[in-house]
Amino acid sequence: VERTLSIIKPDATKRNLTGKINTKFEEAGLRIVAQKRIHLTQDQAGEFYAVHKERPFFGELTEFMASGPVVVQVLEGENAIAKNREVMGATNPADAAAGTIRAEFAESVGENSVHGSDAPDTAKEEISFFFSGLELVG
**Contact in structure between 45 and 62 (CB atoms under 8 Å):** yes
CA–CA gap between residue 25 and residue 15 (Å, rounded)? 18
What residues make contact with Mg ion under the rule CB under 5 A? 118
Does residue 115 have an active-site annotation?
yes
Choose one: 25-33, 37-45, 73-81, 104-112; the region binding ligand GTP (CB under 6 A).
Answer: 104-112
CA 45 from chain center: how many Å? 12
Q: How far is the CB of 66 from ligand GTP (least distance, A)?
A: 13
Total of chain residues touching ligand GTP, rule CB under 6 A? 11
**Chosen from ligand GTP, Mg ion, none, partner binding at 84 (C-beta under 5 to 8 Å by type):** none
Cα–Cα distance list, 23 to 1, 17, 37, 114 (Å): 20, 10, 17, 14
Please identify which residue in 61, 74, 75, 101 interacts with ligand GTP, judged by CB under 6 A: 61
**Contact in structure between 116 and 5 (CB atoms under 8 Å):** yes
Helix 80-88 × helix 18-27 angle, to 10°: 130
Residue (68 or 110) nearer to ligand GTP, CB: 110
* 3-state SS class at 56: coil
Q: How far is the CB of 134 from ligand GTP (least distance, A)?
A: 26
* Catalytically annotated residue among 115, 126, 127, 130: 115
**Chosen from ligand GTP, Mg ion, none, partner binding at 109 (C-beta under 5 to 8 Å by type):** ligand GTP
Catalytic residues: 115
